[in-house]
Amino acid sequence: MKVRVDPEKCQGHNRCYSLAPELFVVDDYGYASAAGDGAVPQELEGKAKLAAANCPEYAVIIEDEG
Amino acid sequence: MATAEARPPVEDWATDYDIFDPQYYTDPGPIWADLRERCPVAHTERWGGSWIATRYEDVEKMARMVPALSNEEFIVVPPVPLIDPETGEVLRAKPVAPPISSDPPFHGVARRLLLRAFSPQAIARFEPYTEDLAHRLIDEFIDKGQCDAAVQYAQQIPPKVISHLMGLDETMGDTFIEWVRNVLEIGATNPEIRVATGVQMYKFWSQEIERRRAEPTGDFINWLMDQDLDGEPMNDEHVRTTCGLLLVAGIDTTWSSIGAALWHLATHPDDRERLVKEPELMPTAVEEFLRVYSPVTMARLATEDVTVNGVTIPAGSRVLMNFPAANRDPEVFPDPDTVVLDRAQNRHVAFGVGIHRCAGSNLARMEMQKALSIFLERIPEFHLDDRAPVTWCGGQVRGPRSIPLLFTTN
């Protein structure tokens, strides 16, 4: 599983960062992006889904790999 | 308040709603449920007239109608100018609190300025102060076995954290509470009090600016004075109105959220026990409290005719951003009136949505998490003291103003 943040949609709510701090980083203005290459370790897949299901801007996108 | 109590009761919430009515701010859920079915975009002539939506889809759409629904006017009652009673000088033609009161393109300039000061990393610097404050407040009443969780705890945290953040002494907290109540609570339906307090705030910020100009302090206010506005030099009015925003947007909003969460935990022992046993649920629990007890209803001004759910709202109308009702829409949130501490699907819009997302949301979330965690850690068992009433306050910011609690600690 991979996660990414659509920078066009993100408004800096930081809901993803609050719920899954392991998977996201935020810039100086509070806008989020995926940590590293966005790869989600298996044990954090639930948190990735939680982050996506809490974003009011639909900016957190999960891409399943296989 | 005499004028508020004297007005006639609401006949039909679809055509005559009143967000300052005690029935509305004490328990708005049933009113929203009725309107969602019967009249999802309601209208009232009260308080200068306004429109209100109750469905998530409509509220979300409206929040993104920028600038057709303009933020130039963001309070539910008609604006009044700020006039200095001593000189007769018009200090401000109408309320200004950038970026809440700004439309693009200036909105982006004012917003970027604040976002840096309110990013999660910037806010993390205030965690130790907030933790220490929460403990100090609890120390005051823990031996008594009783407290007013609104007055002695929830209400005390945001004004002192904001004072600390801005570089002011935390003893300013009490003055800030008074000002914010005069502007938002008592003043919402009483323009005289609102203006008198506005003038006081104007003069206070002017003095603070002058003081720093004479002797720099390196605090938030000083930092703000040293910033530019997209290449233009900072001006005193932008500093004053931004500082005013921090008080008006950052105090009774968060105090309402902390209070509502504590009221919920006092009246729902299962949730309280679960959160004590499973503190790792705090992040989702805080989002869920924000969803069910969203404090803030923003206002906008229609600058053109807009159509929402088949209803045309004419240009010139005041429109309410009913985020609290959107968050209780059963189409989006199953069992919407129930707090589910680990609710997974939760795209609540308590902080708004789109470009006007609350700039202070990271601060609010941090304060809520610290305030609730520390309270539950020190006082894990508590319930309402039935000898005194729980009171709520409402309007554009809704929350409990008195939460008498009894508890035993070991």
pLDDT per residue as tens digits for the range A46-64: 999 999 999 999 999 999 8
The pLDDT, as a whole number, for residue B1 is: 39
C-alpha atoms less than 13 angstroms from C-alpha of A5 in its C-beta half-sphere: 28
The pLDDT, as a whole number, for residue B7 is: 84
**B318–A contact, CB cutoff 8 A:** no
Over residues B184-203, the mean pLDDT reads: 90
DSSP secondary structure string for all residues of B1-22: -HHHHHSPPPS-HHHH--TTSH
The answer on pLDDT for B168 being more than 80 is: yes
Q: Quick check: bond before B279 cis, omega within 30?
A: no
Over residues B332-356, the mean pLDDT reads: 97
Distance separating the N- and C-terminal Cα atoms of chain A = 8
**B125–A contact, CB cutoff 8 A:** no
d(CA A28, nearest CA chain B) in Å: 6
Q: Quick check: bond before B105 cis, omega within 30?
A: yes
C-alpha atoms less than 13 angstroms from C-alpha of A26 in its C-beta half-sphere: 25
**Per the CB < 8 Å rule, is A29 touching B361?**
no
Over residues B216-229, the mean pLDDT reads: 96
The pLDDT, as a whole number, for residue B324 is: 98
Q: Could you state, in order of their start, the residue ranges of all structural domains in chain B? A: 2-407
CATH of B2-407, one of 3.20.20.480, 3.40.50.740, 1.10.630.10, 1.10.3720.10: 1.10.630.10
Closest to B243 measured CA to CA, from B197, B194, B206:
B206
The pLDDT, as a whole number, for residue B4 is: 53
Closest to B398 measured CA to CA, from B335, B323, B303:
B323
In chain A, what residues touch B62 (CB-CB under 8 Å)?
none
Over residues B81-91, the mean pLDDT reads: 93
Residue B274: how many other CB atoms lie within 10 Å:
16
**Per the CB < 8 Å rule, is A14 touching B361?**
yes
C-alpha distances (whole Å) from B9 to each of B16, B77, B201 are 9, 19, 34
Token code pair at residue B21 = 């009515």
B257 pLDDT band, cuts 50/70/90, is very high
Closest to A24 measured CA to CA, from A8, A11, A9, A40:
A40
The one-letter amino acid code at B125 reads R
Q: Residue-wise over B286-308: b if at least 16 C-beta within 10 A, else e? A: bbbbbbbbbbbbbbbbbbeebeb
Q: Could you state, in order of their start, the residue ranges of all structural domains in chain A? A: 2-63
Of A12, A53, A58, the CB nearest to B357: A12
The pLDDT, as a whole number, for residue B5 is: 58
pLDDT per residue as tens digits for the range B280-300: 999 999 999 999 999 999 999
Closest chain B CA to residue A28: B116
* B406/B144 Cα distance (integer angstroms): 9
* B96/B110 Cα distance (integer angstroms): 12
Token code pair at residue B176 = 């800030």
pLDDT per residue as tens digits for the range B119-130: 999 999 999 999
For B325, phi and psi rounded to 5 degrees? -70, -40
In chain A, what residues touch B107 (CB-CB under 8 Å)?
none
Return the CATH class of domain A2-63.
alpha beta
The pLDDT, as a whole number, for residue B188 is: 82
Q: Which of B282, B346, B363, B369 is the best mutation test for A, with the most CBs of A within 10 A?
A: B346
